[in-house]
Amino acid sequence: MKITIIGFGSWGIPLGILLEKNGCDVTAWDNENYVRELQKTRRNNYLPDAVVPSSIRITSDVAEASEVAEIFLIALASREITNVAPLFNFSGRIVVSASKGLEETRQIRISEYLREVCGASKVAVLTGPTHAEEVLRGIPTAIVAASEDEKTAETVQKIFSSEKFRVYTSTDVVGAELGGALKNVIALAAGASDGLGFGDNTKAALITRGIAEITRLGVAMGAKEQTFAGLSGIGDLIVTCTSNYSRNWRAGNSLAKGNSLEHVLREIGAAVEGVSTAKTALQFARAHKTEMPIVEEINHVLFDGKSPKNAVIDLMRRELKEE
């Protein structure tokens, strides 16, 4: 199939190489300056070991990228989607979102934005425990393709699946998308826990109570509870809370060591989805009258100057209750 990838950075490149190996005809779109450099070097600074095959066309021309597409794959940071996605005509074609965030301005999920604002009728979400670096190395990985339309989910499943990349289907787009976005907020807390020198007990508690918060909100927003026990829920949460590959974990770790948010974001240099998602998650929680104490404390740390240590103390001192 002919696939156009919108956003050919640290996540778009591994997915593009995977699709090319699976026999797809891949075109990649990104901004002009980056494309010019990538056409010369076929390399990305964040993935120094990856070489983009010459068979993948790289362009900054929206018309060129659009005219060949049977399927669009969006691999942009969530903050970039509102500026880029409306440039493309998605009518009649499958649009796959591989972005793990939320649309901050309208306070909606990315798939909702693609449908309501960009006119996409066939939308799928590709999400799960997937470090780009490991996908590039061909390490066995499992992921979920979620779409309200079963045939759309199955189409995405078929084009992405390989011996090293196993894709499951789901019709629970709300659950899959929220799991992929909200885990980044909990990963900030896990990184802060490690930065403070806490141990495995603390991280296990954060992961467990974190998935409880994510599940509560997800169910309140119409998701299926069992989705959060799967790859797009606890699976993605575990991998993001426990790995140095995770930019969200690294950001939380750096914050706990006394660095400002501005310094942390500058140091990491790429999108830290949990930062913008934290605000929207808290607004979702309040709108749906859902208790999310970890998310609330992360917001205090990020935006109110609260120290991570005091945030942990306040979490531990909360009213005692039944699990």
Positions marked active-site: 183
**Directed axis angle between helix 293-303 and helix 273-287, to 10°?**
130
Residue 236's contacts (CB-CB under 8 Å, 6 or more residues apart) are 100, 127, 128, 129, 130, 179, 180, 183
CA distance 228 to 177: 10
Torsion of CA 125, 217, 172, 83, to 10 degrees: -20
DSSP string, 28-86: EE--HHHHHHHHHH--BTTBTT----TTSEEE--HHHHHHT-SEEEE---HHHHHHHGG
CA distance 232 to 97: 14
Q: Which amino acid is at 257?
A: K
Q: Is-contact 71 22, C-beta < 8 A? A: no
